[in-house]
Chain A
Amino acid sequence: MSAYLKQDEPDNVNRLDHMRQGVLGTDASRIEGLLKVTGTAPYAAEYQLDDCLEGVLVTATISKGEVTAIDADSVLSMPGVVAVIDDPSLTARAAQGTAGEAPAQPAREVGYFGQPIALVVAESFEQARDASKHLKVSYRADDDVAFDPEAVEAEPQDGATSQGDLAHAMKEAPFSVDVTYTTEGHSSAAMEPHAAIAQWDGDTLTVYASLQMLNYNISELADSLGLDEDKLRLVSRYVGGGFGSKLGVSEETVAASVAAMELGRPVRVAMLRQQVLQCIMRRSETRQRFRLAAGEDGKLTGFGHEARVSNLPGESFAEPVLQSSHFLYAGENRELSMEVARIHRMTAGSVRAPGEAVGMPALECAMDVLAEKCGLDPVELRLRNIPDRHPANGTPFSSHKLAECLKQGAEAFGWDSGPRSPRHTREGEWWVGTGMASAARVHNVGEAKARVTLKADGTALVETDMTDIGTGTYTILAQTVGEMLGLPVAKVLVELGDTHHPRGPGSGGSWGAASICSAAYLACLALRETLAKRADVAEEKLELKDGAVVGGASLIDLLDGRDLAEEGHYEPGDIADDFTASGFGAFFARVRVNRFTGETRVEHMTGAFGFGRVLNTKTARSQCLGGMTWSIGAALTEAMLFDPVDGHLANCDLAEYHVPVNRDVPDLDVVFVEERDGAASPIQAKGIGELGMCGGAGAIANAIYNACGARVFEFPMTPDKVLAAMPD
């Protein structure tokens, strides 16, 4: 049986608030926690298959051109080497998130330095790696390859907004700001390197891989291999971090599959850390110009945001820098546009919070400059510019908590709304200051299916191919089902990450939790209908708690020895077009800047967020904290640095690409702003995986200015840049 809902209308009945179990929205610890602390949760590379071969990818040492010959004989006589795979179905890039089709093939056509071109397979990893270094490859290299995004003509992107006359508004306005910011590329740098083990039995292929969206990945892999989807099974039970880097099927998964099918033995391919940085999606660098015009009262009359990003030729993805700028602030005269420079660096794609991760910090820095010009408290400036409706297309907001976030966040942080001027506090070598920023991240939901089975013994089983990439999917599904069916969390088993189960929405774009829990919710509603009939009450009146009807029969009795299963199927309908839906928030930061070295230390940060129903306070808080930690990296340290001569990534390891470390991260406070958003999903929840980094770097940048008087226009704000901008 199945229960299907295409959501065309907001659901403000909030059924979940009226259930009796009381497990949803609690601080339940993650149910797979013990497996993780004992090292027994299996990640992709850790399945034990007999007779498994090891493959190591060989990567290009040119930036653009073609592989003209691969001399397999140069390594086939080396110890343990079994094969050199250079099949045309090897992929040159990872698939973009939600592509659902094969990424660029064949791998012999080289588009960027470090691109996989072949796979060496051997009995052991060391043998394969050694041979991969000795493989003789001949190339035809192109000259005149573009590496610098500023040195090429850029293509305009669709979706620009042009409304009123911004130039005129800028001229007339008593206060205006025209500033340009740049951001460097980011790497997801998930702690688990990409890895896959493929096993072919002559008819079906089973692949254990580290992937975020099996529902799309199965089509991408099938298309890459020319195999029917029903001959393919993908398994991703535990994923050691994704952050966008595992959205689309990547090169090692296809290579392991091709090799396993060719050799008839299981093949494991794990990327080296350097390969992860070199050939997995980067976040594009950006250049962003803001034109903000405001009246005497600080109200925006004009809003301009123009951005340039880059990608490889042929890639449709363009870092959606303007995504939240379209609706965050008012201003009747508007110019928003983007352009894409085609250059030969590795594929640009989704890295946590594509768009807002870099668009919001830059916008919030420009707003800080404007607040100073207007002589307004920066919190007040934002409060005055919250629009009633989408300022360009006029759609209503599904729910809007920016004002509450600004106020509650300011209070929790102890924000001083008095007059602000830089260099007000010095402690020894350190200037100390504060800054703030708004947060916004568009809300999305996706089609999702989940099967919920009430077992005759009164426990429940949830099955879907949805993944848990560290976000808490296992736990929130157990809570949602427990709440609906009156079961404690420990009585709900959750099985994820296997394409033999109904298709989930995949983990990405912060849509996973709201989408998959909506599917489980629908399945539970259908189960409740049956239970209600058996208990002889209306479904709305059915009260379930601790495995029984309150004051009545137990589930075991109602089930009478037989399992009961329903498949929930959720799809967003008209709500996606009828409303502008977004998570909102506010960041407050206190930093200290060294007056001699320009080093910045974040001392404290508070984030207040409104993202609809909170499904689990612990896992949701973790997502916020993780996002704020990424904000620190984006503000101060993270930058992909490319060689100007051949375009190779110069800092392709964790020693040189600086993710935040323990000592960079102070105590962080998170405030949840109560919200139910019925137009966001039938469970009134929105996403939270990304909101925590959508603006936070701006709060830190603004605090740097408030501390030491350095207005820096380039992210990350490394000591050299801060020092150069510091007034004498």
Chain B
Amino acid sequence: MTVNNRPVQYLLDPETPLLFALREASNLTGTKFGCGTGDCGACMVLIDGVPLRSCLVSIAEAEGRVITTIEGLSRDRSHPVQQALVAEQAIQCGFCTPGIAIAAAALLEDNPSPSREQIDAAIPNLCRCGVYPRLVRAIERAGRVAARAEVIDAAPPPAIAPEEAARDVPALRTTTAPPRD
């Protein structure tokens, strides 16, 4: 299969859920495990452009398909959905966020100006922090951005150089374990 534009072959039991292959074997931990039973949507990825719950798809079923995870949604965090989720504050703890971003990106790909009803129908994801009304606004706004009808000021470039920030704040080093000190 192709994962984020790279050919991948998993040497795992073919029944392994795609979610575990992505998280454990590919270290793509942006896709979340929320329930493992298809209830929450935190594990959504694009499979041939369709948002699906990766906990319910085996790697055998994903064979030969094109998978896009949250890490592959945009190269530089500039996908309109990502920008709009930040701007509309449709993020709290952030655990449901990757799944929602994936579902929303797929919706806008098909339909750049969805109605509220269409958004409701396309976003089945659970969010315990309760970002729901905001996420509807964020998706509407992302649609306008995608249609070039609106520009979101991307978060201002940090005045602190990324390397320096990463030195001081291990959390900004993403998924590597911090040094023991």
Is there contact, CB below 8 Å, between B32 and A192?
yes
Is there contact, CB below 8 Å, between A33 and B95?
no
Chain A positions within 8 Å of B32 at CB level: 43, 191-192, 240
Q: A41-B94, A192-B32, A625-B134 are in contact. Are A241 and B70 (CB under 8 A)?
A: no
Tell which of B39, B81, B92 has the most Cβ of chain A within 10 Å.
B92
Is there contact, CB below 8 Å, between B85 and A662?
no
Which residue of A43, A47, A470 is within 8 Å of B129 (Cβ)? A470
Q: Which residue of B lies closest to A492 (CB)?
A: B160
The segment from A231-239, A313-321, A374-382, A426-434 found at the interface with B is: A231-239
The segment from B23-31, B56-64, B106-114 found at the interface with A is: B23-31
Is there contact, CB below 8 Å, between A491 and B101?
no
Is there contact, CB below 8 Å, between A126 and B13?
yes
Which residue of B40, B86, B125, B127 is within 8 Å of A34 (Cβ)? B86
Q: Which residue of A lies closest to B69 (CB)?
A: A39
Which residue of B35, B69, B86, B171 is within 8 Å of A37 (Cβ)? B86
Does chain B have a CB within 8 A of A393?
no
Is there contact, CB below 8 Å, between B123 and A662?
yes
Q: What are the interface flags for B77-106 relative to A under an 8 Å C-beta threshold, 1 for contact and 0 otherwise?
A: 100011001110101111111100100000
Distance between Cα atoms of A496 and B172 in the complex (Å): 11
Is there contact, CB below 8 Å, between A461 and B168?
yes
Is there contact, CB below 8 Å, between A39 and B30?
yes
Q: What are the interface flags for A51-75 relative to B under an 8 Å C-beta threshold, 1 for contact and 0 otherwise?
A: 0000000000000000000000000
Is there contact, CB below 8 Å, between B35 and A470?
no
Which residue of B128, B132, B159, B178 is within 8 Å of A189 (Cβ)? B128
Does chain A have a CB within 8 A of B126?
yes
Which residue of A49, A661, A664 is within 8 Å of B177 (Cβ)? A49
Does chain B have a CB within 8 A of A30?
yes
Distance between Cα atoms of A191 and B98 in the complex (Å): 12
Q: A29-B86, A42-B175, A470-B94 are in contact. Are A659 and B159 (CB under 8 A)?
A: no
Q: What are the interface flags for B144-165 relative to A under an 8 Å C-beta threshold, 1 for contact and 0 otherwise?
A: 0000000000011111100001
Chain A positions within 8 Å of B136 at CB level: 662
Which residue of A41, A49, A192 is within 8 Å of B34 (Cβ)? A192
Is there contact, CB below 8 Å, between B77 and A241?
no
Does chain B have a CB within 8 A of A488?
yes
Is there contact, CB below 8 Å, between B94 and A240?
yes
Does chain B have a CB within 8 A of A273?
yes
Distance between Cα atoms of A488 and B160 in the complex (Å): 11
Distance between Cα atoms of A234 and B174 in the complex (Å): 17
Is there contact, CB below 8 Å, between B130 and A238?
no
A658 to chain B, nearest CB (A): 10
Is there contact, CB below 8 Å, between A192 and B95?
yes
Question: Would you list which residues of chain A between 227 and 279 have a CB under 8 Å from chain B?
Answer: 233, 235, 237-243, 270, 272-273
Question: Would you list which residues of chain A between 164 and 200 have a CB under 8 Å from chain B?
Answer: 188-193
Does chain B have a CB within 8 A of A36?
yes
Is there contact, CB below 8 Å, between B37 and A459?
no
Is there contact, CB below 8 Å, between A626 and B86?
no
Q: Could you show 26 A-B contacts with beta carbons less than 8 Å apart?
A: A35-B171, A39-B30, A40-B174, A42-B174, A43-B95, A47-B176, A48-B176, A126-B16, A189-B128, A239-B93, A470-B94, A488-B159, A490-B156, A491-B160, A493-B169, A494-B169, A498-B170, A625-B134, A626-B131, A628-B130, A654-B37, A654-B40, A661-B124, A662-B124, A662-B135, A663-B120
| Residue ranges of B at the interface with A (Cβ–Cβ < 8 Å) | 13, 16, 20, 23-24, 27-37, 39-40, 42, 69-71, 73-74, 77, 81-82, 85-87, 89, 91-98, 101, 120, 123-136, 155-160, 165, 168-172, 174-178, 180-181
| Residue ranges of A at the interface with B (Cβ–Cβ < 8 Å) | 29-30, 32-43, 45-49, 124-126, 188-193, 201, 204, 206, 208, 233, 235, 237-243, 270, 272-273, 459, 461, 469-472, 488, 490-491, 493-498, 500, 618-619, 621-622, 625-630, 653-655, 659-668
The 5 closest A-B pairs by CB, nearest first: A39-B30, A470-B93, A240-B95, A629-B130, A36-B94
